[in-house]
Structure 1
Amino acid sequence: MKNFIFPFSAIVGQENVKKALILNAINPSIGGVLIKGDKGTGKTTAVRALADLLPSLKVVKGCPFNCDPEDPDSLCESCRSGDFEVEEKKMRVVELPLGSTEDRVVGSINIEKALKEGSKALEPGILADANRNILYVDEINLLDDNLVDVLLDAAAYGVNIVEREGISIAHPSRFILVGTMNPAEGELRPQLSDRIGLHISVHSIMDLEKRVKIMERREEFERDPAAFRDKFQEKQREVLDSIVTARKLLGNVKISKDLMKVIAHICMDMGVDGHRADIAILKTAKTVAAYQNMDEVNQEHVEEAALLVLGERFHKSSQGPEKIKEKVQKAVSDISEDKKQETGQNQQNSSEGKKRGMKLKSLEKEDEKVEADEEGADLKKLLKMKGKKKRRLYGKRVDSKTQKGKYVKSKLPKDAAGDIAIDATLRAAALKSSGDRPKGTMGALKVESDDLRHKVRKHGARASIVLVVDISGSMFTERKANRIKGILNRVIEDANRHHDKISVVGFKGEDAEIIIPTTRRAGSFKEQIDAITVGGTTPLASGLEKGFEILKKEKTRDEYVPMMLVMTDGMPNVAIEEGPTKDALNIAGALKENEIHTIVINFERSVKYGRNMNMELALASGGRYYDLEELRNPEDVVPEILRNERREL
């Protein structure tokens, strides 16, 4: 049965998504599209519909990389070496699953050819399939860091380089990157977000008539797909003709220097880092002009481009999409005013500007010095005890059971399946074969099953952090409660950036409760943090025990290293078995025995009853101790403490 695809021109609403996809189809150098928003809003449907709409590609027949026969500079090594035939292929949507291994994405060495023929040959990966097609990554913000690095390299250079066992093979990999994500599940790594040209937000359509039309069209399509596609054939042809015409016109589109100044003015006014946004707006504005069949960019084109490039990036700040039009008008007005100013006035303003600039610069240096001194003072207030045995836990390179990470050595296989280390396998076979041959003779290399070696890969471990928080009555001051919430929110933000897991356990009354279950998307639990209430007795031991139970499960996984951050005033008064204090110290001892790294932050100004319970807790757990009162800006410093611990352990 033929697989019919919903027509692009039949999609109801989501105009910005469709526009962004069309502009990238006209000019792939814009850099792709990042679509943020709700599930079920037609994002995947739009991407597949666009690929189906676009004209067929001319490719080298039989080339796994879809090489362009009309662009000799982009041909792979195989296509450059001889004559080839040309064929046409439909543009495709190539999906990159979140669980993909690095070898599956970049490709791997063809083991059979390497062993039998001694030739270097690539087993193509997803980036090979994606060349000259659309690379679609759903939930791109949850993509592993090693795969993000691969995408960054391919997006930057348009070439994928595969290096394995001393063999290096390169092939073209130019694609239109389309990523989708739900911001509630965590932010996208800034390096990748910065490289994606257009950022679009989508929401469920709230117009009654449009929602009814969506249902009607979907029902009509499912009832008779062929007839439905025929119905929209004319509109499909109109969109396709516009794209083809715009592609031809794009190279001749011009933009004035004044409008370039407007673009630069907007980006500076919005506080954009780097210059990629300026270039993306320039390319998008020219593409918009070409799509409208115009050979010169005007102010409306720049405004539309700025909305597509910057609008969603600043949607959380006061400089959201609604401000961009105002800033475009301001930029145009300022540049026009500059032209009217006299030369003498310009020189005077320039001189005054230089003086102001020198003054500000000197003040900035003083501020930087003060901040550096304060940070150094804070971060040197580490554990106030001697002789702590250090263990390299978080941040070490750990053995991986998956095929992730860098290949560092080989080992004998435990099972038939595995990640074969070709170099070590050939070396083992050669050593064995050399003993069976007369000295000075050559012979064919014979590889047997007992010669096989598998790869041992290493990769940076992430943390599973449990925040054990005292929310009992002894913490019932507005200052302490605000500090707790502020620190929790900043640690959660930091964990999201580093793709750590995080859990929050609060203890008060007779027991502890899990406020946030173990997750890599703690940012979506902000309401739970805001809803924390303080009051009741202090079951410190119960809080430590619940956190310990969570981390014992994490110990069974190689991907995450367990860490516990305890925030309390150290005044337990609810027992589990032997007594409030004894129970807490016993669990702290169990944390040490299980190599769970612990950090204790003391919230009590003065030591009660002649003993520092939190210091004893840190000693018993083999962890570190910090006094909140000795830390400036704890909301900022506590995440930094965690980062330092990761580096030092």
Structure 2
Amino acid sequence: MTTPFPFTAVVGQDDLRLALLLNAVSPAVGGVLVRGEKGTAKSTAVRALSALLPEVDVVPGCRFSCDPAEPDPACPDGPHEAGPAGARPSRMVELPVGASEDRLVGALDIERALAEGVKAFEPGLLADAHRGILYVDEVNLLHDHLVDLLLDAAAMGASYVEREGVSVRHASKFLLVGTMNPEEGELRPQLLDRFGLTVEVAASREPDQRVEVVRRRLAHDDDPSGFAARWADEEATVRQRIVAARELLASVRLGDGALRQIAATCAAFEVDGMRADIVMARTATALAAWAGRTEVLAEDVRQAALLALPHRRRRNPFDAPGLDEDKLDQTLEEYSGDDDPDPGPDGPGGGGGGAPEPDSGPQGEDAGARPEEGEGGQPQPSGAGSGEQSAVRAAEPFRTKVLSVPGIGEGAAGRRSRARTEHGRTTGARRPRGALTKLHLAATVQAAAPHQRARGRSGPGLVVRRDDLRQAAREGREGNLVLFVVDASGSMAARQRMSAVKGAVLSLLLDAYQRRDKVGLVTFRGAAAEVALPPTSSVDAAAARLESLPTGGRTPLAAGLLKAHDVLRVERLRDPARRALVVVVTDGRATGGPEPVALAGRAARLFAAEGVASVVVDCESGPVRLGLAGQLAGELGGTAVTLDELRADSIAGLVKDVQRRAA
């Protein structure tokens, strides 16, 4: 077994370590979501935490780790008789991104349940994680229905498995830790709110600290056991401190003054619901216990706000998480109470058990911040010449109707187009391919019934064999790849028009976020086209690239279409089940390269030949219109809509037109 990297040897990342330790002291805080770029010790710190947690007493032989002092009366392995307790280390269970629902919650033996009437249950990861840590790396890439099951179990402290009238319930209380890279897509706000705390991590820009990170990593890789031994005393100190803080937790007083500050802070930052108030109260209490105090101070409330509120302030995926600390301090000062004693020498978060001091270097820029207007070049008069215009801010986004891909797909679960999925309404039955996950009871009984006499049935039970089992065929919704191909040439450079174009694309990006799509952005201007953003689940990254997009130069329409075709070809190899919707935003002019109009037509016909769903947003303006975008839509095999018509009602008609053409 590989020796884990010691928790106290992690360099910097003080907020991350503090958030993990607070959850170790009080699991009621609700877990922690760690957001940050790759290579910032997210996984290392989480895996190291499990070695600091005290051992747990368990009922010997219980697959669900029941506490001998308070065994679960509904435990599937119960009832448990009084006897000697066993002890084992706290577990850290990892949930893979590609895990199935059965692997997470457990699986019933449907064949035995039908034939023998017994609850033959194979525990899943939620049972393994009971009284330990459940770690989900890249939680933002986990399927929505798995995240829902996971967070429901974390909130209720129990897991429920129900299949065709057979139910199993078992205790499942764990410390939930998720990590994610925001560049790969965001979690829905509803799911963000279910994590108690959130921490933003970034690599230090301080050379001395980076040197120390490398030095310790190399030392651990060369001699894991020896490196761990050098940090054994610090690890033991933190382990003892966790135990002491747990024992002190029940004695911590959360006074009325601190409660008023918590309520006023949540109200001032306009967070939704009451979960934030509750999490802040629990976090502030845990901070006091961690510091060895029995009174919650204003400093505890402030630190709790910094950990519990940033991810709850997002209103859409284009908002960066964060908190205005000046506003926070002003609110705490305004509602400061008189019942707070003077803080002791060991303040909140103080003492890291031998861990390094907080990083005093730069913490990196806010990856979600939008660039200021004026990036991308100096403003010049717009036109079709070689001049270049600075980036124009997008107009306010508006609500759109669904743009869906015709037909029925089999892509990743989402909310856009029709698809055959594991979840949704039942449309029929089929023989299972691999493990049975969704039983179609009527079809199974119908398949087994004719063979009962031949199988020697003598009692009331139904004799069921593997060949009789039928899987429910279900229809739901899938997420698609929405690839935007945006004309950024001089003919599009009029500031008001480009603002409207960006506003329309931003609206469709917001819709793509809500429907769990991947998005990509190809732009063309001057002499060539470029992939401004490869296909990704991070729509906020697409919005940032769109916002900073400059315009100017000639119109290489064919180059843009060919580049988009190449992006689709590569993405088809990576994710063959995900269908694409191409949205071309242009006035239809083609002025770049030899025979630009003919070449653009040939490029467009490649999409039509492959049956790629497409929409052309016609941005042509002026009293005389050439209708070039409409011609392009005909070559693509799609449909065209003017920029003025790109509103909810018009898009609804557009979807019907796309579906009629595909029929």
TM-score over 0.5 for the alignment? Answer: yes
Cα pair distance change 1:195/1:570, threshold 3 Å: same
Alignment match, 2:40: 41
Matches within 5 A, 1:522-533: 522-524=539-541, 528-529=545-546, 532-533=549-550
Which of 596, 608, 628 lines up with 2:643 in the alignment?
628
Q: 1:441 to 1:592 in 2, by over 3 A?
A: same
SS at match of 2:22: helix
Deviation at 1:183, TM superposition (A): 2.2
1:431 matches 2:449? yes
Q: CA deviation at 1:66?
A: 1.6
Distance 2:226 2:444 in 1: 59
DSSP 3-state at the match of 1:598 = strand
> Is 1:70 matched with 2:69?
yes
Contact 1:487–1:638 (8 Å) recurs in 2: no
Paired residue secondary structure (1:243): helix
Distance 1:210 1:115, change over 3 A: same
Q: 1:195 to 1:448 in 2, by over 3 A?
A: closer
Match of 2:496, as an amino acid? Answer: R
Aligned twin of 1:341: none
Deviation of 1:461 (Å): 0.8
Q: State the superposition RMSD in angstroms.
A: 4.2
Residue matched to 1:328:
332
Give the C-alpha shift of residue 53 in structure 1.
1.5
SS in 2 for 1:465: strand
Q: Which moved more, 1:45-54 or 1:622-631?
A: 622-631
* 1:516 is the counterpart of 2:520: no
> 514, 517, 529: which one pairs with 1:500?
517
1:143 to 1:405, Cα distance in 2 relative to 1, 3 A: farther
For structure 2, the residue ranges without an aligned partner over 5 or more in a row are 314-318, 341-395, 410-414
Q: Percent identity?
A: 38
Residue in 1 that maps onto 2:614: 598
The Cα shift of 1:196 comes to 1.0
Match of 2:336, SS state, is helix
Call closer, same or farther: CA 1:48–1:30 in 2, change over 3 Å.
same
Contact 1:250-1:287 within 8 A present in 2 as well: yes
SS at match of 1:502: strand
Q: Mean Cα displacement is larger for which, 582-591 or 87-96? A: 582-591
Give the deviation of 1:411 after TM superposition.
Answer: 0.8
Matched, 1:194 2:193: yes
Contact 2:429–2:440 (CA under 8 A) maintained in structure 1: no
Rate the CA distance shift 1:122–1:230 in 2: closer, same or farther, 3 A.
same
Letter in 2 for 1:499: R
d(CA) in 2 for partners of 1:467 and 1:639?
21
**1:487-539 deviation line (CA, Å, top 9, x unaligned):** 44554454344331222233445664433333323544667545644344444
Q: Cα–Cα, structure 1 residues 517 and 183, in superposed 2: closer, same or farther, change >3 Å?
A: closer
Distance 1:128 1:482, change over 3 A: same
The amino acid that maps onto 2:420 is: D
Contact 1:311 1:324 in 2 (8 A): no
Matches within 5 A, 1:325-364: 325-332=329-336
Q: 1:584 to 1:217 in 2, by over 3 A?
A: closer
CA distance in 2, matches of 1:202, 1:395: 33
SS of the residue 2:520 aligns to: strand
**Map of 2:582 onto structure 1:** 564
> Aligned ranges for residues 472-491 of structure 1 at < 5 Å?
472-491=489-508
- Cα distance in 2 for residues equivalent to 1:476 and 1:121: 67
User: In structure 2, what is the Cα distance between the partners aligned to 1:111 and 1:317?
Assistant: 45
Amino acid at match of 1:194: D
SS in structure 1 at match of 2:90: coil
Task: Name 1:18's counterpart in structure 2.
Answer: 17
CA contact (8 A) 1:199 1:308 kept: yes
- Aligned residue in 1 for 2:100: 101
CA separation of 1:24/1:627 partners in 2, compared to 1, >3 Å: closer, same or farther? same
d(CA) in 1 for partners of 2:576, 2:474: 12
Task: Show the counterpart of 2:141.
Answer: 142
Residue pair 2:185, 2:536 contacting (<8 A) in 1 also: no
- Residue from 598, 602, 614 that aligns with 2:629: 614
Q: Is the 8 A contact 1:101 1:404 kept in 2?
A: no
Counterpart CA distance in 1 for 2:199 and 2:10 is 17
Is 1:240 aligned to residue 239 of structure 2? Answer: yes
Cα separation, partners in 2 of 1:516 and 1:186, compared to 1, 3 Å = same
Q: Match for residue 282 of structure 2?
A: 283
Query: How far off its partner does 1:194 sit?
Result: 0.7
| Cα-to-partner distance string for 1:585-613 (whole Å, 9 max, x where unaligned) | 7776775676544333221224646x533
The verdict on how the C-alpha distance between 1:427 and 1:472 changes in structure 2, with shifts beyond 3 A counting, is same
Q: Which residue of 2 aligns with 1:412?
A: 431
Write the mapping of 1:168-247 to structure 2, written as runs, cut at 5 A: 168-222=167-221, 224-247=223-246
Report the Cα distance in structure 2 between the residues aligned to 1:318 and 1:43, rounded to whole angstroms: 19
The whole-number CA distance in structure 2 between the counterparts of 1:85 and 1:116 is: 37
Report the count of equivalent residues: 592
1:265 to partner: Cα distance: 1.0
Q: Which runs of 5+ in 1 are unaligned?
A: 337-373, 384-388, 632-636
Q: 1:162: how far off?
A: 1.4
> Could you say if the C-alpha distance between residues 396 and 499 of structure 1 is closer, same or farther in structure 2, counting changes exceeding 3 Å?
closer
If you compute each CA radius of gyration, which structure gives the higher value, 1 or 2?
Answer: 1
The CA distance in 2 between the partners of 1:205 and 1:94, in whole Å, is 29
The more displaced of 203-212 and 617-626 is 617-626
Matches of 1:514 and 1:287 in 2, distance apart?
Answer: 48
How far did 1:646 drift?
Answer: 10
CA distance in 1, matches of 2:657, 2:325: 39
Q: Distance in 1 between matches of 2:593 and 2:449?
A: 65
Name the SS of the counterpart of 1:626 in structure 2.
Answer: strand
Q: 1:160: how far off?
A: 1.4
Deviation at 1:485, TM superposition (A): 4.1
Return closer, same or farther for 1:270/1:121 CA change in 2, 3 Å cut-off.
same
Q: CA deviation at 1:569?
A: 1.6
SS in 2 for 1:560: coil
Alpha-carbon distance, 1:547 to partner:
3.8
The within-5 A match list for 1:365-376 is none
Is the helix fraction higher in 1 or 2? 1
Deviates more, 1:276-285 or 1:105-114: 105-114
Q: Structure 1 317/63 Cα, relative in aligned 2: closer, same or farther at 3 Å?
A: closer
TM-score normalised over the length of structure 2: 0.76
DSSP 3-state at the match of 1:436:
coil
- For residues 354-384 of structure 1, give each alpha carbon's deviation from its aligned partner in whole angstroms, at most 9, with x where no partner exists: xxxxxxxxxxxxxxxxxxxx999x979x99x
Question: How many angstroms apart in 2 are the aligned matches of 1:54 and 1:272?
Answer: 32
Question: Does the residue aligned with 1:80 lie in a helix, a strand or coil?
Answer: coil
What amino acid is the match of 1:432? P
In the alignment, the residues of structure 2 paired with residue 105 and residue 160 of structure 1 have an alpha-carbon distance, to the nearest angstrom, of: 10
Q: Give the corresponding residue for 2:412.
A: none
Report deviation, 1:90.
0.9
- Tell me, yes or no, if the aligned pair for 1:146 and 1:405 is still in contact at 8 Å: no
Task: Check whether the contact 1:37–1:203 (CA below 8 A) recurs between aligned residues.
Answer: yes
> Which amino acid in structure 2 is aligned with residue 250 of structure 1?
L
Q: Which amino acid aligns with 2:487?
A: D
Secondary structure of the 1:128 match is: helix
The SS at the match of 1:168 is strand
Provide the C-alpha distance between the structure 1 equivalents of 2:21 and 2:135, rounded to a whole number of angstroms.
15
Distance 1:495 1:70 in 2: 50
Structure 1 stretch 25-34 or stretch 426-435: which is displaced more? 426-435
Give the conservation status (yes or no) of the 8 Å contact 2:416–2:515: no
Residue 448 to residue 144, structure 1, CA distance change in 2 (3 Å): closer
Query: Which shifted more, 80-89 or 247-256?
Result: 80-89
Matched, 1:470 2:487: yes
Q: CA deviation at 1:298?
A: 2.0
CA distance in 2, matches of 1:646, 1:57: 60
Taking the aligned partners of 1:435 and 1:154, their CA distance within structure 2 comes to: 44
Shift of 1:281: 1.0
SS state at 1:395 partner: strand
